[in-house]
């Protein structure tokens, strides 16, 4: 029983580490690491725009195109909840995402908060996202930071 608990805690820690690696890859513009966090059949959804993309290349292309024009970002995650079912798992956490773009007349910052709802699969390379749904709950600041 103690070994099962240790295994479950190790899996949960690895799942949270994957969520943190996603945020870090966004902020450091490390597209190779971001791509490696998704399985080949992964899908990514963003509730704010209704987008749904499948496959790591399409996911990374969308994210990188959106973030490359922004001067700086900081994605912070919290309130992680992970449930492991063998080699499959569900994970949720909250996020705060600060976006900064210098020189805009109506303000240089846009802050968004919401939730990630994930499904992951254990692979030989560790836990990888098979599905990530981003639900924006609130925002403040100048939306042109992220839209123009």
pLDDT at 141: 94
* Region at 29 (left for phi over 0; alpha for psi -120 to 50; beta for the rest): left
Place of tokens 């290349």: 57
Contact 112, 97 (CB under 8 A): yes
Closest CA to 112 of 96, 124, 126, 125: 96
pLDDT tens-digit map of 44-89: 999 878 899 999 999 999 999 999 999 999 999 999 999 999 999 9
The predicted pLDDT at position 1 comes to: 55
Half-sphere exposure (Cβ direction) of 19: Cα atoms closer than 13 Å: 30
CA end-to-end distance (rounded Å), the chain: 54
In which residue are the tokens 């492991």 written? 84
Find out whether 133 and 47 touch, Cβ atoms under 8 Å: yes
Quick one: which H or E segment has residue 27? Answer: helix 2-28
For residue 148, give Cα distances in angstroms to 75, 90, 144: 20, 34, 5
Phi-psi region of 124 (alpha: psi -120 to 50; beta: other; left: phi over 0): alpha
Q: Which residue has the tokens 């949720």?
A: 92
pLDDT, tens only, 81-136: 999 999 999 999 999 999 999 988 888 999 999 999 999 999 999 999 999 999 99
């Amino acid at each position: 029983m103690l070994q099962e608990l240790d295994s479950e805690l190790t899996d949960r820690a690895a799942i949270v580490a994957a969520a943190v690696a996603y945020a870090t890859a966004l902020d450091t513009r490390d597209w190779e690491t971001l791509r490696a966090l998704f399985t080949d059949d992964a899908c990514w959804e963003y509730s704010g725009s209704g987008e749904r993309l499948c496959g790591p290349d399409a996911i990374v292309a969308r994210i990188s195109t959106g973030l490359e024009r922004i001067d700086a970002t900081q994605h912070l995650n919290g309130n992680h909840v992970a449930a492991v079912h063998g080699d499959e798992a569900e994970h949720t956490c909250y996020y705060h995402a600060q976006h900064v773009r210098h020189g805009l007349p109506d303000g240089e910052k846009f802050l968004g908060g919401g939730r990630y709802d994930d499904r992951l699969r254990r692979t030989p390379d560790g836990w990888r996202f098979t599905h990530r749904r981003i639900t924006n709950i609130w925002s403040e600041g100048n939306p042109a930071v992220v839209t123009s």
